[in-house]
Chains A and B, each alone.
Chain A
């Protein structure tokens, strides 16, 4: 059976009951001692009177005999009176009452009944002797023979002489009285001794009980002190008591935190552990006493600054403390968490702004501009550059540079020469001089440096790397690395998307074989020119005898011829001229700000350039052109029809030439066979192409 654990009550006022018990014990002991003293003193006074009366009996017995003799000799004496005194006194001694005064000697004395059986027996014996003495005295005075008188006290007096008998009885009475007085005195002595012993015992018991209670008080106080000490010692709260600019007390938690003993923390020692930026606030707080809360930093045993949140209590008027009590808690983790949350919020803000900015960039150039502005946001003085691969993904080009701090100018040439790209995650180098630093960081003009390299990818394909450098030996902050990572991720996603979109758009707008814009694109452009009332010339070109070329040399040669023709046309045309593959071996050419005459000239140059180009031994072919301009018709459809008429005329005229389409020729070219939907002249010409070729 286990003993129940003692209840832990550090604030229980146990000491109060102990002190009360001590006081009560002292009071009881004192009261008992006083009572014993009073009782003993009263008893002693009574005993003294008894002894006096008992002793007086001896004198009275002798006086009785003397007075008998005097009276018998005729002298004046009163033995009867003495006999009465003897009798009354012995009765008073035995049963209590008044012992009468002896004339001239004393006063009446009131005695208490004797209770001691031994003394009572002596007094009874005395009483009997007095009786016999008085009987013999009376016989003596009456001259009677006393031998026959009864002896009541056990004496056996053999003397015949009456006087001798009286003297013997007087002697016995005297001796017995003396013996009784001595016994009473002895008893009084014993009482006094007993009283002294009792007093000593009471004192000893009082002292013993007091010692026990004091021990209990000390134990209680010690236990309570131990409770509080354990509470304070085991508490993680840091407690300081400050007074007059000095530390008077530092709890165990402070010793643990600072790694210094209390002796070094008291006085001014505590100030050495406090951050110099917080020192003034700390000293002001302890001097004023009005500050209730204080946050300061204290260096711990390993030199790390810990944030402490202190609650100050002004107990300078409390005589038990006489100082300001700082109850502090270590809030470093909370502060770090708050800082991290702040940084996270800033990062989130940066990230959301970056995403929004990049969403608005519909071209790579715009995305690069966003990247440059983001670089400034991350670090105004941090050199950065964005290195992206070209379409071949074999080379890295510097596409964006920090507008203020410039570029770190990493010499990396291809994506897979970059360690960050190979690893697929951000790489941080504290110093370029470290053994494991990227070799491309060494031997730079600006000297040793720290660096961050963040790979950029899109849909799992590496696009390049975002590179930033800083002072040598100083690692970029986590926040900077996080922002660079965000920038790399978002920029990679946006640039990859833009590139994919541009590629798709290009594929939708161009002809896959020749690389020229397609028919729909050109129509869009031409309508735009018409809406803008910008004049332009229009030419419809067609490769002569193309079907025969295909049949004779194969489709690959046909395709090559189409690409060659396209290349020749692009070489001859201006940059803002438009050319599209219109279908099959047809090409539609638009020359902004040109008229029919100019177009005829340009087409002529194309024919000439084509002829020169084919001098190299390739399969030879020619082309026919129908020309018109925007002044000839209000609509695109009609303009194309006119160009088609021109092409028809060129074909009909023998091919390899340029003809202008006129409405006057249109009837011949288009015919009137299909009123609902007129087939283009070219197609009909093409249908006739083969017979004409034969």
Chain B
């Protein structure tokens, strides 16, 4: 009669752990998940919540808490932001090449998503409706 020997429990646990590690690498090689930036706009400031941002796809989940309408513009701010002659609003014509993406004015209570491919650099998140920027609706964003 032959004698059957079972493998030790510690060996099994090591094998399962290795399998998880391999799976994690394979997943990272296939494509990293985009960074999510939660943005809350209200009269008259912008709150940004995010972790460490790296270049690549960034998803902005923008919620307007009102009570007024607000827009959402992502603009590169490496060299400052030019103003119109009135000194109250940004000169969007001059910023045309710097604007990475935008969400049109949305009413209070609405949440919109903006997916952008951001390169490393300094960005500004602004609402450029009349008086809003100067009223305080701007926030910086750094992408490494």
Contact = CB atoms under 8 A, between A and B. Distances in A.
Interface residues of A, number: 25
A155 interface: yes
Contacts of A156: 44-45, 135-136
B104 interface: no
Interface stretch (A170-178, A214-222, A312-320): A170-178
Contacts of B44: 153-156, 172
Contact of B88 (A118, A122, A158, A167): A167
A157 interface: yes
A124 interface: yes
Contacts of B136: 154-158
Contact of A124 (B67, B129, B131, B132): B67
A125 B68 contact: yes
A213 to B, nearest CB: 45
A179 interface: yes
Nearest to A159: B134
A154 B136 CA distance: 9
Interface in A127-177: 153-159, 164, 167-172, 174-176
B130 A175 contact: yes
Contacts of A183: 107
Contacts of A124: 67
A164 B89 CA distance: 12
Interface of B is mostly: loop
Contact of A155 (B66, B129, B135): B135
A171 B69 contact: no
A23 B134 CA distance: 65
B115 interface: no
A164 B109 CA distance: 30
B80 to A, nearest CB: 15
Contact of A153 (B43, B107, B130): B43
B11 to A, nearest CB: 62
Contacts of A153: 43-44
A34 interface: no
A121 interface: yes
Central interface residue in A125, A157, A172, by most chain B CB within 10 Å: A172
Contacts of B122: none
A174 B130 contact: yes
Contacts of A125: 43, 67-68
Interface in A111-128: 118, 121-122, 124-125
B108 A175 contact: no
Contacts of A168: 88, 131, 134-135
B24 to A, nearest CB: 44
A428 B74 CA distance: 129
B42 interface: yes
B105 to A, nearest CB: 9
Contacts of A171: 88, 130-131, 134-135
A154 B88 CA distance: 17
Nearest to A121: B67
B7 interface: no
B67 A175 contact: no
B135 A164 contact: no
Contacts of B69: 179
B87 interface: yes
A157 B67 contact: no
Nearest to B68: A179
Interface of A: 118, 121-122, 124-125, 153-159, 164, 167-172, 174-176, 178-179, 183
22 contacts: A118-B66, A118-B109, A121-B66, A121-B67, A125-B43, A125-B67, A154-B42, A156-B136, A158-B136, A164-B88, A167-B86, A168-B131, A168-B134, A168-B135, A169-B131, A170-B131, A172-B130, A172-B135, A174-B131, A175-B131, A179-B68, A179-B69
Which 7 pairs of residues, A with B, have the shortest CB-CB distance? A171-B131, A156-B136, A121-B67, A172-B131, A155-B135, A175-B130, A168-B134
